[in-house]
Structure 1
Amino acid sequence: MTDASLTTAAPAHEEATEAFEQRAFGFWLYLMSDAIIFALLFATYAVMVGNTAGGPNGQTLFSLSHAFGETLMLLVSSITFGFATAAMTAGNRTALIRWLLVTFVLGVIFVAMEISEFSGMVAVGAGPDRSGFLSAFFTLVGTHGLHVSAGLIWILVMAAQVMIKGLTPPVVSRLLRLGLFWHFLDIVWIGIFSVVYLPGVL
């Protein structure tokens, strides 16, 4: 490689690195804004939890074993995503795709359990329009479920990109941001389990 080509390659590499850093910073800003949204939803739930309007409360509706099963699925999926990240660092595309798909399956099970819980509550007349408590519950937990569903689509997109493009710097950068997003959802769910389900059944 000539001196001229080296001179040209260096600024290009610096520009690419700066672009990745800017995207990472922008994604952190997004996560912070998302955290504020969830904080507001938690605050709303805390205010509305006692407003049952004579309807069922958490002790009547919530199943701790079901919520624990959801928690287990999401916690394990966070671990499997960690394995995917380790495979990415090692440059092992096959293992990376395998762990991404395992994470995807666990996330699908989580969403299916959440939908089952919602449909069961609606079937007994405990829908979001029944009381302020239920409106706040469905909004908080449903918003988290929508985020997980978006994460599942993102996982499939990234698995396809790894298969087609390989572990290029842009793909790796997107995978790292996906990891931040997925672990963030895990943390939010732990908050939901601790603030909504545990006090609700006690």
Structure 2
Amino acid sequence: MAIHQRPATPDSVLWQHEAEAHDDIATRTLGFWLYMMSDALIFAALFAAYGVLDQTTNLAGGPGAHQIVHPLAGFWQTLAVMTSVFAYSLASVAMKMRSQPGVILYITIALVLGLVFIGLELGDFARLIALGDGPDRSGFLSIYFVLIGTHGLHMAFGILWMLVMIVQVARSGFTPGIVARLLNLRMFWQFQASVWVCVYAFVYLRGAF
């Protein structure tokens, strides 16, 4: 006896399409979480190395943390990165509302604040190098530059990623692939902000006393 299947309705086809898109986004997000875990291990190793090298015996006659870190300067960087994260959160809200102009606007604000953060960091590096306190001066300064610089490179990558997403959202809207990348970028940016809070507490505040 022949089995008759009900023809697919437009609603069922739409539901199946949305379910497949959701599964694709979930899979990409899980994969990115695995990457974030490996990145966290890298920063954990750098923090551990900093804790070991931040000792008088590793200064080689150069300055210690209390002589080069300025909590107020680090505070402005912290304010910039946290405000940038807030701006990106507004972009996520705009994405839920399917507002391309809103997403582009708030990601642009987040990007500009990220550039401010990197500018402050590069200015601090330039000041230390001009004083002769570059990474080759001592073991402590080496790990200081590596720790701060590694985080800065991650921030620079995030800014480049934002530029790419602005172009993609403007051209293609909210395809499943673009939505997945926007969500992963949000996680990445929030993670960088979390790492910087640890840097500020462990390097700037701890080093000031």
TM range (shorter): over 0.9
Which residue type is aligned with residue 36 of structure 2?
L
Maintained 8 Å contact 2:91/2:104: yes
Alignment correspondent of 1:49: 54
Maintained 8 Å contact 2:74/2:204: yes
Cα distance, 1:21 vs structure 2: 2.0
Which residue type is aligned with residue 66 of structure 2?
Q
Match of 2:66 among 42, 48, 59: 59
Alignment correspondent of 2:39: 34
Whether 2:174 is the aligned partner of 1:167: answer: yes
Superposition CA RMSD, Å = 1.8
Match of 2:142 among 107, 110, 135: 135
Which residue type is aligned with residue 46 of structure 2?
L
How many percent of aligned residue pairs carry the same amino acid?
Answer: 41
Distance 2:200 2:41 in 1: 18
Alignment correspondent of 1:151: 158
Cα distance, 1:103 vs structure 2: 0.4
Distance 2:162 2:112 in 1: 10
Which residue type is aligned with residue 126 of structure 1?
D
Distance 2:110 2:18 in 1: 33
Cα distance, 1:10 vs structure 2: 7.0
Whether 2:68 is the aligned partner of 1:81: answer: no
Q: Deviations over 1:92-131 (max 9, x none)?
A: 1111111110001000000011000001101111111111
Distance 2:134 2:157 in 1: 23
Alignment correspondent of 1:110: 117
Alignment correspondent of 2:106: 99
Cα distance, 1:8 vs structure 2: 7.8
Q: What is the TM-score with the length of structure 1 in the denominator?
A: 0.93
Please identify the structure whose Cα radius of gyration is greater. Answer: 2
Unaligned stretches of 5+ in structure 2? 1-5
